[in-house]
Amino acid sequence: MTGESSEPSERMGERAGVNRVAFWLYAEAPRAVVAGGLLAVLAGTAVLTGVTVGLGSGDPVNALFQALVGATVTVVTLVVTLNQLVLSQELGAVGDQRERMDASTDFRRDVETLVGGVAPADPAAFLQAILSAVADRAERARDAAEPAEGPVADLAERTTADTMAVRDRLAGAEFGSFEVTLAALDFDYSRRINETRRVRAAVDLPEASDEALSELVDTLELYGVAREHVKTLYFQRALVSLSRTILAAAVPALAVGIGMLLYFQPGSALGTALPVGAAVGVTLSPFAVLVAYVLRIATVAGRTLAIGPLMLRSTDRDRTE
């Protein structure tokens, strides 16, 4: 295809300008794997330190688990705050709820005007419908342009290829998993808006082609709004899941921490290090869960700070030069 070899990957992980493994840990990996890996490192460090350095008395163990029990209580308090944050978006007077419903309905009608039918209710299918409309406008602009080759054809080919790749990833994806959100973020609509506007400004296009590109910009803008909405819904769901998981982990963490304070007696280096390491892993589980979830949320939020044709990172700006 034209420009295929020089066109950078559309996937967000490869646009981020960070190590691929690091991005996998930050965002793509299951959160249970990230939390488990962090706990394994912390527990292993505690065992290794206990075996190599040893403990002269039970005081270091008591001091450690006093701090961990206090930290666990603090994390649980943070969970209550997170729940209040999520609930604050759902609570409101009937007038506020009516405004939310009207805004949502108006947006769906705008999308249905472009897709030419009833927009799907499933988030993944909804995004697929908008991406199909994006590809349709790009192909119409290419077909109406004279000659067919040139900037319009290159833009249409790149846009169609990118939308097809994202649509394939969205097919069958279920909302609630990170798969839908990540696939939606992979389509760099901001860059496509900038490219389309530059083509319209630089090339003297037939009226039909120019109108199709204008509709392409409108459709890309609708996709940006839909993507941000899906991302927001995922964040709310992730915060709810985070709160539930931390509360479930806090009960055994507190039980083990309190048990270590009341009943543990140091013995040999290995006999002390192994139970201390295991107890550290259990007691720090709420903290590990918090780190795993916040790492993904912060990574996605950092990559999508702006809505619209704004590029905040040099890696994105380089792609448009």
Determine the average pLDDT of the residues in 180-200. 89
Ordered by start, the domain boundaries in the chain are 12-318
| pLDDT > 70: percent of the chain | 87
* Residue 243 vs residue 91, higher pLDDT: 243
Predicted TM-score (pTM) of this structure:
0.82
Q: What is the mean pLDDT of the chain?
A: 83
How far is residue 141's CA from residue 108's CA, in Å, rounded to a whole number? 24
Taking only the tens place, the pLDDT of each residue in 267-316 is 777 778 888 899 999 999 999 999 999 999 988 888 887 676 666 555 44
pLDDT for the residue numbered 319: 47
Tokens of 35: 């939390």
pLDDT for the residue numbered 10: 57
Cβ 130 vs Cβ 222: under 8 Å: yes
Taking only the tens place, the pLDDT of each residue in 10-53 is 566 665 556 788 888 988 899 999 999 999 999 999 888 888 87
pLDDT for the residue numbered 22: 86
pLDDT for the residue numbered 278: 93
pLDDT for the residue numbered 133: 92
How far is residue 255's CA from residue 72's CA, in Å, rounded to a whole number? 11
Determine the average pLDDT of the residues in 188-206. 87
How far is residue 224's CA from residue 208's CA, in Å, rounded to a whole number? 24
Closest CA to 166 of 1, 26, 11: 11
Q: pLDDT band for position 5 (50/70/90)?
A: very low
Taking only the tens place, the pLDDT of each residue in 98-108 is 888 898 899 89
pLDDT for the residue numbered 36: 95
Q: pLDDT band for position 318 (50/70/90)?
A: very low
Residue 171 pLDDT greater than 60, yes or no = yes
| pLDDT > 90: percent of the chain | 29
Q: pLDDT band for position 148 (50/70/90)?
A: low
